[in-house]
Structure 1
Amino acid sequence: MSLRIDLRSAILALSDALDLVGVNDFQHGKRVAMIARETAINMGLPERRLDRLVCGCLLHDLGVSSTAVQRRLLRQADWEDRHIHCETGYRLLQPFSHLSLVSRAVRYHHTPWVDLPADLGETDALDSNLILLGDRVDGMLLQRGLDNPLFNRPGIVEAIVGLAGRELLPEAVDAFIAVASREAFWIALAPRHVQSYLNDLPLSEWRMTIDFPMFGHVARLVSTIVDAKSHFTAAHSLGVAQLARHLGQRSGLTADSLAKVEVAGLMHDVGKLCVPDEIIDKRARLTPLEFSVMERHSFETYQILRHVPGLEQVAEWAAFHHEALNGQGYPFRRSAARLSTEARIVAVADVFQALAQERPYRGPQPVDVIGGILGEFVKRGVLDGDLVALACEDLDGSWRAATLPWSGDGGGG
């Protein structure tokens, strides 16, 4: 496949996805990157090291998909279960040749300086502690409010000074104090300035291209984070991806389109990271307010993916999975004339897999019942009748694709 993806863009998109988990505590990873990077500059770290540190900061909470866990991490620095997400992030990053470079710093970013393993290595030890410093500073900022970070400077600096020597490397604290003396440092942490700071970073060490099959592995990583949000959605994205490829093959899609539609299936629910756990796991019918929150997720998926050069088509196929041929879907109200075959495939795969899986309000549906429900969606003008017919002609094969463990056979994953 000729399509290639810029790794820097992919990392920034992944950072955007992780931002969603905070819901209201937005841009946490990005502010941690700003705080740690400015401190590291004062310590004299070279540009190459700064790039690696920024990447580690942006991805440090990779192991968090639960909004409840995120809230506790940002408000309880001594939470006894805080290391669980560190281990999860480490495990998720390990299989990737370049991303694995930051995996050990991510693993130990909640470990006090004096408790770091002796064999960690100087680079990983410093990076993990700078991430911890940034994390603690931003946690205090979030508790005090981001409307005017500069106003909160004295109390935060005093608290960080108190952590020197045990939790934080004294030299890192000294560098932070020097950086914190600048008003501009605090003003730049206001939400409207954060994205500009990140956009201006060249991140030259991460500005490399990866081929599309390799990006499929990154998409697999994203799907793991999303599906871990609730045990009700465990492996949902994987099932949608496998069924989308299965239906695509039966529809005669080209090999390139099959690879891309599989990635669209893997990433179609990335925007769901912004939906609070209590809505995802609610056993009763959602209220109008709660459903309006749920409706955001496919729009957020689109916003994250469309900014990655080369993923423009994938962004649409993934984000349109709740659109309907009759124009009554959401969030864009696209009608049949503006829904590609690939987008329709992802929509059918999403409904099929969801029906085959347990939800808070019902159990998994038998395979023969699924066929009947899909037929009702066709009658209502929601799903494509030809694609539903393809799925129903091979119900057992479709069910296996939607529910069996990840095969990893496709070019995208």
Structure 2
Amino acid sequence: MTLKIDLKSAILALSDALDLVGVDDFQHGKRVAMIARETGLALGLPEKHLDRLVCASLLHDVGVSSTTIHQRLLQETNWGHRHAHCESGYRLLQPFAHLSLLATAIRYHHTHWVELPSGLAEGEALDSNLILLGERVDALVFQRGLENPLFNRVGIVEAVAALAGRELSPVVVDAFLGVAAREAFWIALVPRHVQRYVLDLPLGDWSLSIDFPQFGHVARLISSIVDAKSHFTAAHSLGVAQLARYLGERAGLAGDTPARLEVAGLMHDVGKLCVPDEIVEKPARLTPLEFSVMERHSFETYEILRHIPGLEQVAEWAAFHHEALNGNGYPFRRGADGLSTEARIVAVADVFQALAQERPYRGAQRAEEIPRWLNDFVGNGVLDGELVALACEDLDGSWRAATAVPSPDACVWD
């Protein structure tokens, strides 16, 4: 495969996905990155160190996919289970050549300065503490209101100063107090400015090309975060990806298209991170208001993926999985003329895999029951009949693709 993906764009996309988990506290990772970087600048850190710090800050909550846990982390700074997501983030990033450089700082970003392991490298200890500083400041900003952080700065500065020597390094706090004296720092924390702040950073060492197989592993990382949101969706994205690739191969799609279909399947539900846990796990029919929240997820998927150069087509295949041939799907109301074969394949794979899994409102369907459900969708003008027939012709093979969970070391990107 010749397709190359920019790692910086992939990190920013992953950051956008993680930002969704906050629901109301949008752009948490980006504000933490800005707070940490500005304090690092005041400490005189070199540019390469600052770039690594920014990337670690953007991804520091990579172990969080639950909106409930995110809220507790913001509201209860010393919550007893706060280290669990740090360990999850560490494990998730360890296997990746570039992202593994961020793993240790993320592992200890909720560890108090006086409790950091004695053997931790000085740079990683500093990065962890700068991220913790960003977390503390952002929690206080959010609690007092994101509309005007400047107005609330005095109380925030006093609260942070009180943490020096215990949770935060005195050197870090002193540097932050110097940064906090500038009105521009607080004004820049509002959403439109912090977004531009991060996008304008060159992140030189991280603006490099990775090949498509490497990005496939990053896509699997993203899918694991999404699927961890609920035990009802455990391995859902992985199953959709495997079945989409399997159907693409059976349909005779050429070149790297089946592999790209797998990436689309892995990331098709990334926008679901914005849906509150109580809606995802509701055991009854959604209210119109709740369904309108659920409908957002496909659009959010599109907005996250389309900004990664080279993934424009994949973004459409992933985001159109709730569109329908009759034009009555959501959220773009695409009809048959606007849905490619690849987008139709992802839609079939999504329905098939969902039927094979338990949901809060129904049990898992047996393999032999799935064709009836799929053909009902065909009859109602939702799914492509030829592709459904392709999935049902080899029902055992489709079932295995949709439900098999490979070992973590399995590689299908070659």
Q: TM-score range by the shorter chain?
A: over 0.9
Q: What is the match of residue 345 of structure 2? A: 345
Match of 1:180 in 2: 180
Hey, what does 1:233 align to over in structure 2?
A: 233
Structure 1, unaligned stretches of length 5 or more?
none
Residue by residue, what CA displacement relative to the aligned partner does 1:315-353 show, whole Å, maximum 9, x if unpaired? 000000000011110000001111111100000000000
Aligned to 1:118: 118
1:406 CA drift (Å): 2.8
* Distance in 1 (alpha carbons) for counterparts of 2:255 and 2:119: 46
8 A contact 1:242–1:406 mirrored in 2:
no
Shift of 1:163: 0.4
Q: Counterpart of 1:148?
A: 148
Cα deviation code 1:58-109 (max 9, x no counterpart): 0000000000000000111010000000000000000001100010000000
Which residue in the other structure is 1:320 paired with?
320
Question: Alignment partner of 2:35: what SS?
Answer: helix
Determine which of 395, 410, 413 is the counterpart of 1:411: 413
- The answer to whether the 8 Å contact 1:238/1:406 transfers is no
Answer yes or no: is 1:135 the counterpart of 2:160: no
Q: Secondary structure at the match of 2:282?
A: coil
- Cα distance in 2 for partners of 1:204, 1:167 equals 31
Counterpart-to-counterpart distance in 2, 1:45 and 1:315: 37
The corresponding residue for 2:104 is 104
- What CA deviation, in whole Å up to 9, does each residue of 1:158-209 have, x standing for no partner? 1111100111010100000000000000000011211110111000010110
- Asked whether the equivalents of residues 64 and 85 of structure 1 are also in contact (C-alpha less than 8 Å), the reply is yes
Structure 1 Cα separation of the partners of residues 238 and 347 of structure 2: 14
Q: Distance in 1 between matches of 2:152 and 2:77?
A: 18
Q: SS of the residue aligned with 1:177?
A: helix
Give the Cα–Cα distance (whole angstroms) in 2 for the partners of residues 207 and 114 of structure 1: 35
What letter matches 1:84 in structure 2?
A: A
Partner deviation per Cα, 1:231-256 (whole Å, 9 max, x = no partner):
00000000000000110110001231
Identity of aligned residues (%): 75
Deviations 1:247-278 (A, max 9, x none): 01100012310111000000000000000000
Measured after TM superposition, the shift of residue 44 of structure 1 is 0.2
Post-superposition offset of 1:409: 4.7
CA distance in 2, matches of 1:286, 1:406: 33
1:79 corresponds to: 79
Structure 1 letter corresponding to 2:150? L
Partner residue in 2 for 1:386: 386
1:45 paired residue number? 45
Q: Match for residue 213 of structure 2?
A: 213
Residue 210 of structure 2: SS of its match in structure 1? Answer: strand
Amino acid at match of 1:202: P
The code of the aligned residue for 1:126 comes to L
Which residue in the other structure is 1:90 paired with? 90
TM-score between the two structures when normalised by the length of structure 1: 0.99
SS in 1 for 2:256: helix
1:401 and 2:409 equivalent? Answer: no
Q: For the residues of structure 2 that align with 1:80 and 1:314, how far apart are their CA atoms?
A: 40
Q: Which amino acid aligns with 1:353?
A: Q
Give 1:111 deviation, angstroms.
0.3
> What are the ranges of 5 or more consecutive residues in structure 2 without an aligned counterpart?
none
CA–CA distance in 1 between the matches of 2:191 and 2:149? 10
Q: TM-score, normalised by structure 2?
A: 0.99
Which residue identity is paired with 1:410? V
Q: Which amino acid aligns with 2:295?
A: E
Q: Does 1:195 align with 2:195?
A: yes
1:33: how far off?
Answer: 0.3
- 1:302 matched residue in structure 2: 302
Tell me what 2:253 maps to: 253
Distance 2:107 2:316 in 1: 34
Where in structure 1 do 4 or more consecutive aligned residues deviate above 6 Å? Answer: none
- RMSD across aligned C-alpha pairs, in angstroms? 0.8
Contact 1:356 1:365 in 2 (8 A): yes
